[in-house]
C-alpha cells in the first residue's frame, strides 16, 4: 500500500481538518503506536507501546474496558516467556470521564488490523499523558514485574520472564502456554 493510499484510508475514518481539538494516533493491534496523525510524526523507527507512552489509558483499556489483553508466548531460542498485548476485536470504545485529560475514543480502521485513537488536544487542555497516580502507571522493564497469569491485574510494558529450563537435560520443565513466539526479523 502506498503512503497516500494509507493516509486516505485513515482520513476516510476521521475528518482531521474538522476536528483540530483532537490528537489522533494510529495503533497496531499489538498496542504499539505507529503514527501520531496530528503532528504527522511517524513513530515507526522508535515504535513505542501505549503502556509506555500513555500509561493511564493502557490501564483503562486493560482493567476497565478489558480490550487490551495480555498473552504469553515461548521464545525457545532465548529461553524466555514473552508477554505481549493484543487489542481485542471491538466496534469501538470511549470514556465517559468528565475530565477532558482522561477522555478517549478508540475505533478500528475498517479493512485493516489498525485502530484509530482520539484524545482531546493535550496542549489545548493542558494534559499530561503521564500517570497522575500510582494505579495509573505501568511497570516498564526488559523483564516483567509480574510473571504469572495474574498479569491482567498489573499494567506493564511488553516484557519477558525466565523460562523454566533444565540445561542438563536440555528441556523446558514448565510452560505457561503452548504458543511459540513469532520469529524476529532484523530491519
118, 104 contact by CB (below 8 A)? yes
Q: Collapse the DSSP code of 43 into the 3-class scheme (helix H, G, I; strand E, B; otherwise coil) and give the result.
A: coil
pLDDT at 104: 93
Flag whether pLDDT at 16 surpasses 70: no
181, 74 Cβ separation under 8 angstroms: yes
Query: Do 13 and 112 contact (CB within 8 A), yes or no?
Result: no
pLDDT, residue 46, reads 52
DSSP tally for the chain: helices H, then strands E: 3, 12
CA distances in angstroms from 170 to 164, 174, 180, 183, listed in the order given: 11, 13, 17, 21
- Gap between the Cα atoms of 146 and 186, Å rounded: 28
Confidence of residue 102 (pLDDT cuts 50, 70, 90): very high
Note whether 58 and 112 are within 8 A (CB): no
Domain ranges in the chain? 3-174
The answer, yes or no, to whether residue 83 has pLDDT greater than 90, is yes
Distance CA 184, CA 161 (A): 17
What share of the chain has pLDDT > 70, as a percent? 87
SS3 6: helix
Prediction pTM value: 0.83
Whole-angstrom distance, CA of residue 4 vs CA of residue 11: 10
pLDDT at 164 exceeding the cut of 80: yes
Cell of 130: 503521564
Which pLDDT band holds residue 55 (cuts at 50, 70, 90)? Answer: very high
Q: How far is CA 165 from the centre of its chain?
A: 29
3-class secondary-structure state, position 164: strand
What phi, psi does 172 have (nearest 5°)? -80, 130
Most confident listed range (5-9, 15-19, 64-68, 156-160): 156-160
Amino acid at each position: 500500500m502506498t503512503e497516500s493510499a494509507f493516509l486516505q484510508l485513515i482520513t476516510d475514518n476521521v475528518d482531521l481538518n474538522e476536528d483540530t481539538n483532537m490528537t489522533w494516533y494510529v495503533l497496531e493491534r499489538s498496542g504499539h503506536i505507529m503514527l501520531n496523525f496530528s503532528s504527522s510524526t511517524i513513530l515507526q523507527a522508535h515504535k513505542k507501546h501505549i503502556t509506555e507512552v500513555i500509561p493511564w489509558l493502557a490501564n483503562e483499556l486493560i482493567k476497565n474496558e478489558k480490550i487490551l489483553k495480555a498473552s504469553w508466548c515461548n521464545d525457545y531460542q532465548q529461553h524466555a516467556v514473552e508477554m505481549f498485548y493484543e487489542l481485542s476485536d471491538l466496534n469501538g470504545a470511549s470514556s465517559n470521564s468528565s475530565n477532558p485529560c482522561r477522555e478517549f475514543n478508540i475505533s478500528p480502521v475498517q479493512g485493516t488490523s489498525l485502530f484509530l485513537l482520539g484524545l482531546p488536544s493535550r496542549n489545548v487542555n493542558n494534559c499530561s499523558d503521564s500517570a497522575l497516580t500510582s494505579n495509573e502507571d505501568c511497570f516498564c522493564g526488559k523483564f516483567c514485574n509480574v510473571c504469572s497469569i495474574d498479569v491482567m491485574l498489573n499494567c506493564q510494558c511488553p516484557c519477558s520472564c525466565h523460562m523454566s529450563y533444565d540445561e542438563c537435560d536440555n528441556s523446558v520443565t514448565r510452560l505457561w502456554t503452548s504458543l511459540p513466539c513469532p520469529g524476529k526479523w532484523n530491519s
